[in-house]
Structure 1
Amino acid sequence: MFGWRRLWSAALLTAGLILLPDGAQAADVPVPPENLLIDKGRGDISAADRDFVVKVRLAGLWEIPAGEMAQDKSDSTRIKKIGRSIADQHSELDQLTRDAAEKLKIKLPNEPNEDQQGWLDEMEESEGPDFDGIYIDRLRAAHGKIFPAIAAIRAGTRNDTVRKLAQQANQFVMTHMTLLESSNIVDYEALPTVPPPAAATSKAPAAATVLSADESGLGGSNTPLLLAALAGGLAVGVVATRQILVNRRPAYRSRRTRYYAD
């Protein structure tokens, strides 16, 4: 008896967990294991691959000094922590990028590009809350632009070293976007609008599996004949069904009579 009670309690507990709202269950978000990726420099390197490696390097060349600048120019403890974390992580990503570039013989820049230098100049000329707004918005917009580029390289590159760097960069970028958004001052309205999905280029024929009237034998001069045959078949069916019911009725009554008589 005690064993059955224990099993019943366990069943109720399991059912209760299943019926809990999604928010009440802990989500187990997978982290892709890097040790499953090969990094031998094997595979063709496209122009897009080379451009990607250069862009990852450029990202560090301005985001590291921007994070350092946050330590002096921001009055917010939260912004300082965000800047410190992003700068430190970009230093790690920059090392991974330089290692990959060396293996693949890709020449890397040593200075930020013109746009990135302009963003750094904006930050240099600002203080306090003004700095915070510029720092968060510029970095969040930049991460939003490189995010789809990383996905395209990760999905399509033929080179195993570029593939691994793309996966690593993806993890860094998602972390940085989350950190920046935790400031609660991201201007989402200023972010580029996601384009609408492209219209389908091809459509399956409507009712492709349905035969046409001619193909099914229902077209042309055969139609009246087939309809007449169908009507005749229905009439015969009705008559036969009625006859069966009439024949069964006495037997049913007699069995019911015998039941009550007993």
Structure 2
Amino acid sequence: MRFSRNATGTLFVGGALTLTLAALAYPSMLGVSTVTTSPDRVIANTQWGPLTESDRDFVVKVRAAGLWEYPVGQIGLKKGTNKGVLIASQHLIDGHSALDTTCRKIAPMLGITLPNLASPQQQGFVNTLNSDSGAKFDNDFANILRVTHGSIFNTVAKIRSTTKNSLVRALADQANNTVLDHITVMEKTGLVNFDTALFTQTTPPKLPKVDLTPPAPPAGQPEVVLTPPPNATSTPVDINGISGGAAAPSPTPTVG
């Protein structure tokens, strides 16, 4: 089997296109300012527990994932020719609209600025699938999304097991269920190349940080909303159940 990479980090396997998801990293401009690169550093103290750099970046990652996977689900409903792809497309729209609702609720409570666009790499996934058709679309759809969900799954588990912030923990619970569901429906398409998926997840290309970073929204730009489908089955986190319905004071930044 022949492996090669181009300058943008695209992986070609035996002539078939499979896109990779490199380790996701998001800059301080999207959240509370940082002065170190320690993911465990507390950047704000909130009534729901301390907020670390990794907590902040996780909320941004979940938002960014929805900003490309939700439209890919819409594309899949129009272009998919495989029944499993059509089902998976519905799951993408359903799951990410619910996750997005949770992100947009907790972000202002934690002082986190959310992007309105996915990263350039993620937008590249959308462009690739937009240009595909027929069986090639189905194959690229299943494999790109199986790789990306497989890559983020470990991140979700780590945040869930380490965060001391109850809002971030609740988002991680929801993300864990959603990502596992999406991994499962991709595999049920019967199109996933597991050898390639494992190779791609464990040996991601080293892309420039700018390619992996969703741009910060311009000041005053309306927030993009991922609208739930009419028959939605996924539900956002009950924030009132966590916060007790109390008004949230502004997080207190931690200097250091």
TM-score (norm 1): 0.57
Aligned residues, how many? 156
Please say if residues 41 and 160 of structure 1, whose CA atoms lie closer than 8 Å, have aligned partners that are also in contact: no
Change (3 A) 1:41 1:72: farther
Report % sequence identity: 38
* Alignment map for 1:1-262 (pairs within 5 Å): 41-193=47-199
TM-score (norm 2): 0.58
Across the aligned residues of Structure 1 and Structure 2, the Cα RMSD in angstroms comes to 1.5
> Residues of 1 paired with 2:83 and 2:166: CA distance?
40
Structure 1 residues 66-105: Cα deviation after superposition (integer angstroms, max 9, x where no partner):
0100122122233112101221221111101111112111
Partner-residue secondary structure (3-state), 2:50: coil
Structure 1 residues 16-41: Cα deviation after superposition (integer angstroms, max 9, x where no partner):
xxxxxxxxxxxxxxxxxxxxxxxx85
Change (3 A) 1:101 1:59: same
Aligned partner of 2:80: which letter?
A: S
Bigger Rg, which one: 1
Change (3 A) 1:74 1:180: same
Mind listing any 5+ residue stretches in structure 1 that lack a counterpart?
A: 1-39, 196-262
> Residues of 1 paired with 2:124 and 2:47: CA distance?
35
Please say if residues 41 and 103 of structure 1, whose CA atoms lie closer than 8 Å, have aligned partners that are also in contact: no
> Residues of 2 paired with 1:152 and 1:89: CA distance?
20
Which protein is richer in strand relative to its size?
A: 2
Partner-residue secondary structure (3-state), 1:45: strand
Which protein is richer in helix relative to its size?
A: 1
**Which residue of 2 is the match for residue 214 of structure 1?**
none
Task: Flag the structure with more relative contact order, 1 or 2, with Cα contacts below 8 A and sequence separation at least 6.
Answer: 2
